Amino acid sequence: MAFTLQLGAPAPDFDLPGVDGKRYSLASFTDARLLIVVFSCNHCPSVIGSEDRMNALYARYAPQGVAMIAINANETANHPTDTLEHMKQRAKDKGFRFSYVRDDSQEVALAYGALRTPHFYVFDAQRRLRYTGRMDNNPKDAAKATTHELADALDALLAGKEPPVAATNPLGCNVKWKDRPGHWMPPDACDLV
């Protein structure tokens, strides 16, 4: 069995604290036509290069019924800037309009099979996985991106169609797992495509 969540699978539920002091679960997004779950963090260069695009994507699609939640599951002993307090400051500094939550136990990251930061998952109204992978092919530099798989998937799903590409390899830093070397990947983790 592959480590990461497979297309068609139901979204694993969660109950996580947000930077705004609220707790979030799947039920927090009941009315959303589509739900984007992205595993993110504060320090990865690929995340930092994608944050403005994440804000813009959310602003573009939220009026169409798309919700987004970013989950930071990185261990904090060796990555102290990924603590909830630092997340609060990052969200404020970057003006995040989407929810940003902390998965301190890493149980949610394991349930989803998060491979990298950022790693995007798009779920339909029934919360079945319809797209997984990257936002585009250059997370560090928007000007060099020549593909836009996440937006393409959202456009297709909102139009009642299948995503033109349903799975891509996420591009970015490995999730930083507790008690593991910085570049460790679970043995059953593999590239999606």
* 22-60 confidence digits (pLDDT tens): 999 999 999 999 999 999 999 999 999 999 999 999 999
CATH number at residue 69: 3.40.30.10
DSSP string, 60-117: HHGGGTEEEEEEE---SSS-GGGSHHHHHHHHHHHT--SEEEE-TT-HHHHHHT--EE
Dist. CA 137–CA 156, nearest whole Å: 19
Dist. CA 17–CA 193, nearest whole Å: 32
Range of the domain at 70: 16-174
Indicate the number of domains in the chain. Answer: 1
Longest dimension (CA), the chain: 44
* Crossing angle of the two packed helices 45-61 and 149-158, in degrees rounded to 10: 20
Q: How confident is the model at residue 181 (pLDDT cuts 50, 70, 90)?
A: low
Tell me how long the chain is: 193
The predicted-structure confidence for 99-127, as pLDDT tens digits, reads as follows 999 999 999 999 999 999 999 999 999 99
Does any domain span residue 5?
no
Does any domain span residue 83?
yes
Does any domain span residue 152?
yes
Does any domain span residue 71?
yes
The predicted-structure confidence for 52-83, as pLDDT tens digits, reads as follows 999 999 999 999 999 999 999 999 999 999 99
Does any domain span residue 97?
yes
Q: How confident is the model at residue 193 (pLDDT cuts 50, 70, 90)?
A: very low
Provide the whole-model pTM: 0.94
Does any domain span residue 3?
no
